[in-house]
Structure 1
Amino acid sequence: MKVLKRGFLIVLSIFLLSGCWNRIEINDIAIVTAVGLDLFEDNQLRLSLQVAVPSQLGPATGTTKGGKSTFIISEMGGTISEAYRQLQEKLSRKIFFSHSRVLIIGEDLAKNGVTHMLDFYARYQEPRMHSSIIVTKGRAVDILKQEPTLENVSAEVANEIIKRKVGLRISIRDFLDMLLTEGVEPVAPQFVLVPLEVKSDSQSKEKQAINGAGVFKGDKLVGWMDDSETRGILWLRNEMEEGVITVNIGEERGGGKISTNIIRTESDIVPELKDGKVTITINTRAEMNVLENASEVNLGDPENIDKLEKEIEKEIKDRMRMTLDKAQGELGSDIFGFGEALYKKYPKEWNNTYKEKWDDEFSEVEVIVKPKVFVRRVGLIRHS
């Protein structure tokens, strides 16, 4: 009887063990590493996919075995879904989005509006919401076509640059959150094609680089911030993690320059509402180390350290002010979240007075910038 029971349990367990019933073999899929979206005539969308060639992927090189590690395939459609289905008809393998790390949007499409594109990402289960979103002047497909030097695929170049924290890092989820949150407008890093060598007579191939940011109002691109202005965005949004600040030393102190690198920073937005007037105060605290002293200043003198801290504070304030002036003036877009901060502190006043007219109010808001810098280490070499 016991033997019979054991046999029955073994047979039953075989039927209950379903295994990986829905597994997808790697030989049956086309792995997408990056997605590019551009706008063409008649509001047609061009969907471009960078697809990996697994047999050609090798360590730390763009191509191996004499072939390219990726290829580009594209198709037109009224929506992403329509273009995607037509692309699928071109490929013998199932398009697989789950490994895509970058979504690149061309300028014309960004200016036309991106809500419907992000709707596809929010609904379809394969694309990853934490993929980076990037905007570029010109066409997105041109970024995808660039051959990498150090990485296997060009999408990985973009991803690694973003991970190095040299500029804005915005995921699709972050962008959607900004788009749906009252009192803050979306912003995304801008990628451009730049040569590896500067002012060189040799023919240097263009490569990808972060160089500024695309500023949105609602879901439409309204303008660009250059690299210096984007550093101001990072300070104002409390996202500055790494960087170098160089200050000029006056001729009365011997001239030259001193470069410092950022250890840590913290910025907070403090809104105040008095007599119907909104004031925003930005309190910024930064800790720095001296990286290079190309001046005659003796860094062993505490008085000189105090002066250096004041000069760095002025440099930070100037950068933030430059960014604020452009955002409040030319672009009229609250990418810093001042409205969101106002809503959190004064929810009743926001809903009754400022919610419907914040676009106009933002440009008139007085913003007070208060940076405080501490130089922690100057090194053992106190003179240049």
Structure 2
Amino acid sequence: MKLKKIFLITVAVLSVFYTIGCWDMVDIDKRFFVGNIGVDRAEDGEQMLVTFTFPIVRKIAGGQGGGQGGGGGSTIVVISTVTDSIHAAARQAAMRLSRRLFFEHTRVILIGEELARDGIEEVVNFLERNTEINRRGRVIVVRGKAKDALTIKNEIEVLLALYIANIFENRDICARFIETDVDEFMKQVHSMNGNVLLPRLTPGKTDVKIGGAAVIKKYKLVGWLEENETLGANFVLGEISGADIMIDIPGYKYPVVFTVTHNKAAMELLEAGDYPKFRVKLEVKGEIVETPEQIQLAPEMLKIIEKMLEDRINHMVLASIRKLQEEYQVDLLGFGEYLSKYKPDVWEEYKKDWENIFPDAEINVETKVKIRGIGASK
């Protein structure tokens, strides 16, 4: 009798836990898996135009058409709504759809240029409070409208979200855009008081290009870094595992192409004073992968090429630093962070007015290039 009573109590307790664990479960066949979210400023200049895209899984699985078109109709649904928040947009979309929107597989969050210039706080708030959102997704600023990027007729991938997200996998051979995900974006935007670099996307008719960076200052887009300037910024951030640099050798028709395989960056405070003086030291290693046919890569020529590469990298890095200092007046390369970590006493003197001090800081760059390989030889 006692054992029976214990058994009944155990069953009752377990049933409560199982009920609690499944109370909000939604069957997979009652969900639409959102791949992309696009956020633009609406035509009224006040509200947002929020765009969701999601695949029709049964059409993709059944082979009805490739890409976004085909004999079986479109495999990707694009739905937009004008609203005051992204959360409200998902609720409004539910009144037009037969299934719920599900965000755990969202790969890309696109922010239109006009909205980004007004401020990205609503996007930050949505990403911070939405527990479903994929933390490995990408946050990207679009040059133009986010919706334009989500309505291209791409023929490369069946899923547009996969196409855009996979471009970031090429960063090991091209470091001319910023690499970040939702988690990293949220950490940076909060720790730096709304200042952050984000990747830039430019839509075309049948494809998109990711290159350059969006400069976000106090949660607002204030401008862009172009591709070479973004490469320069990545050298300082120490986030280059592959990038090609071309230099022209006098007397030769075609350039020498150098591929970076290793990059190490270190900052150093040289003087404190009214305005700090920094030195950025870069150690760059790589290989020559293409040369003019007639050139002879003797040791003397390699030394000349190394010096030319050092000058070219210095120029790109300084162009990036100067633009952030003089045009945008925002520290996005970690100089203030370096002081707070390694020179806390100095940082105490600067931190309250760092926004006004940073533009006048003196920053020098020293680069040392080492060519480790010249490819196959005859």
1:73 is the counterpart of 2:79:
yes
Give per-residue Cα distances to partners, 1:339-383, cap 9 Å, x unaligned: 1111212223323x322221111111111111111111112326x
* Structure 1 position 325, deviation (Å): 1.8
Farther-moved stretch of structure 1 (56-65 vs 83-92): 56-65
1:172-183 superposed matches below 5 A:
172-182=182-192
User: Corresponding residue for 2:209?
Assistant: 209
SS at 1:105's partner residue?
strand
* Structure 2 contact 155–206 (Cα < 8 Å) conserved: no
Tell me by how many angstroms 1:31 deviates.
Answer: 0.8
Aligned length: 366
Partner deviation per Cα, 1:285-313 (whole Å, 9 max, x = no partner): 111111111153311x2122111111111
Aligned counterpart, 1:305: 302
The aligned counterpart of 2:336 is 339
Deviation at 1:11, TM superposition (A): 11
Q: Which moved more, 1:99-108 or 1:169-178?
A: 169-178
Structure 2: how far apart are the matches of 1:89 and 1:184?
Answer: 34
Residues 143 and 203 in structure 2, CA contact (< 8 A), matched pair in contact too: no
1:55 to 58, 79, 92: 58
Instruction: Write out aligned runs for 1:276-355 (5 A).
Output: 276-299=274-297, 301-351=298-348, 353-355=349-351
Q: Using a 3 Å threshold, how does the CA distance of structure 1 residues 337 and 280 change in structure 2: closer, same or farther?
A: same
Identity percentage of aligned residues: 25
Give the residue type in structure 1 aligned to 2:57.
P
2: distance between equivalents of 1:362 and 1:238?
A: 20
Give the AA of the match of 2:137. S
Instruction: Note the C-alpha offset of 1:278.
Output: 0.7
Q: Are 1:227 and 2:237 matched, yes or no?
A: no
1:188 maps to which of 187, 195, 198? 198
Q: TM-score, normalised by structure 1?
A: 0.87
Counterpart Cα distance in 2 of 1:6 and 1:147? 65
Equivalent residue runs for 1:32-111 within 5 Å: 32-40=34-42, 41-57=44-60, 61-63=66-68, 66-111=72-117
Residues 380, 357 of structure 1: CA spacing in aligned structure 2 closer, same or farther, 3 A cutoff?
same
Point out where structure 2 has 5 or more consecutive residues left out of the alignment.
none
Which letter maps to 1:285?
A: E
Look up the match of 2:269.
271
Q: Relative to structure 1, is the Cα distance of residues 275 and 76 closer, same or farther in structure 2, using a 3 angstrom cutoff? A: same
Matched letter for residue 74 of structure 1? S
User: Separation in 1 of the partners of 2:186 and 2:49?
Assistant: 22
Q: Secondary structure at the match of 1:357?
A: helix
| Residue 193 of structure 1, CA deviation | 2.0
Change (3 A) 1:272 1:90: farther
Residues 274 and 295 of structure 1: CA distance in aligned 2, closer, same or farther (over 3 Å): farther
Question: Are residues 1:150 and 2:146 paired?
Answer: no
* Matching residue's letter, 2:53: Q
Q: Is the 8 A contact 2:306 2:370 kept in 1?
A: yes
In structure 2, how many angstroms separate the alpha carbons of the residues matched to 1:112 and 1:350? 31
1:319 CA drift (Å): 0.9
Q: Which moved more, 1:32-41 or 1:257-266?
A: 257-266
Q: Distance in 2 between matches of 1:38 and 1:291?
A: 42
Residue in 1 that maps onto 2:140: 134
Question: Judging changes above 3 Å, is the alpha-carbon distance between structure 1 residues 319 and 184 closer, same or farther for their aligned structure 2 residues?
Answer: farther
| Conserved 8 A contact 1:279-1:366 | yes
- For residue 277 of structure 2, give the secondary structure of its aligned residue in structure 1: strand
The whole-number CA distance in structure 1 between the counterparts of 2:224 and 2:107 is 23
List runs of 5+ in structure 1 lacking aligned partners: 195-204
Asked whether the 8 Å contact 2:106–2:134 carries over to 1, the reply is: yes
Give deviations 1:192-241, integer Å, cap 9, x for gaps: 124xxxxxxxxxx4311112111011100000111121111211211112
The one of 355, 365, 368 equivalent to 2:364 is 368
